[in-house]
Chain A
Amino acid sequence: MNGRTLGYGLTFVAALIAPWVAYPVFLMTALCFALFACAFNLLLGYAGLMSFGHAMFFGMAGYFFGYVVKTLDLAPELGLLAGVLGAAALGLVTGALAIRRQGIYFAMITLAFAQMIYFFCVQAPFTGGEDGLQGIVRKPLLGGLIPTKDDRVLYYVVLAIFLFGYGAIYRFIHSPFGQVLKAIRDNEQRAVSLGYEADRYKLLAFVLSAALAGLAGATKAMVLQFATLTDVSAATSGEVVLMALVGGLGTITGPVVGAFIIVTMQNYLASAGEFVLVIQGAIFVVIVMAFRKGLVGELTEWWRRRSAPRTEPAD
């Protein structure tokens, strides 16, 4: 059994026993953000597109979930579905427009669209405005089979959702689609000259990323039982970028690590008020200046350098 399989195995076992060791709601929140960060990273690491407005998918999906489950009083499965589909639809519309520019402009456009969604949410009646959607009851899943009111039980549901999302990303990356996407990211002109419609692939990646971010957002609403303006704010968009950055852009496990670190940090610093922003900003700065590969990236690099065979100088 090689190191990596062992690593995955241990992590899986840890994940299974986690709710007896740590506070389940904290774990679930971290898992939701981990999925969110993975969805973001799919777009950035594999399509080369940095979205600075990903909160719009995360937050809106939460609102959709809340609306379906609380206001329309339907089953939570439908709520999750509504979140995913709603986010995907939003992704299709905004993505089609944002993809028309690249790089920095793309980032600014996604940021601007997210602001638009934010303002919409402030005013739209169904979101509950400044108060948000509160008190979303945890209804049992699978027609009553799974009692979601128990945090530990819900944890396994959320874990399953997370693994589903993570698995979807993994399958996508290693599929033919994923390979083409990588080729486009590395050398778009060449890919286009080979006959690939780059924009279509990018849009597909964007919609997928939006849908998964929506899954994360809807699940979070299910766990924490509310959806508020913070979830669609620029701050949340910035947070997910930070998570992916801290963990390591373009690595598949990085965003998960980053999400756990940031959520833990937020928990500890909850009493510090606005100072959290300063810390977050400082982390951004430090990483960009010194640790661009993120935690996972830098560790992988360090490990590789350690295990590289030493070459003897030529005589």
Chain B
Amino acid sequence: MPDALLRVEGLQAWYGESHILHGVSFEIGRGELVTLLGRNGAGKTTTLKCVMGIVGERSGSIRFDDGETVGKPSDAIARLGLAYCPEERGIFASLDVEENLLLPPQVKTGGMSLQEIYQLFPNLQERRRSQGTKLSGGEQQMLAIGRILRTGANLLLLDEPTEGLAPVIVQRIGEVIRQLKARGFTILLVEQNFHFAATVADRHYVMEDGRVVDMIAAAEVQQSLGKLQAYLGV
């Protein structure tokens, strides 16, 4: 892909003595929504964290917008236009909802305004003065996603946004993600819930034991169900 927004090649990562990633390679084009699928422990979250610069030891190549980022600290990477929504959501208990939303600074122009975010998530506006962690799981997830939309980042890293949520909320999040894609955000999504992933993604990368082992485009998903079931143990 000539004009990839993100290109990862031969990414290796360690947590202390544990060698987690053994050479991950994939790429994402502008405006694409790409997922990382795989079982628990495959290295999906670690890959996301490496792209964001949070993992301590990493080597290989991560190119964002044709600039090498593998050695940069996370705040520098964020300022290039990446934003991260962690698996545990990371809502700050000592801040209220609106403070949480306003916390990530604007790194580029083109981010959504607070009003637009409230339009996307009306129930956040209702509870804007509530303490961040007093929200329900679904609301916290929406807050975690809403937070990073204001910054002007164009590559969003979402780690298991539907984990532990009721089907109704999962649907809502799917709608939101499709809207974001329509607005031009590029999204890298880590998901265990394959059915959800299939409703939003352009392409799927399958990870196993710290490597990318397969890539399945949206159009090929139907034919590849058997393969996918084997990979994911579903």
Q: In the complex, are there CB atoms of A and B closer than 8 Å?
A: no
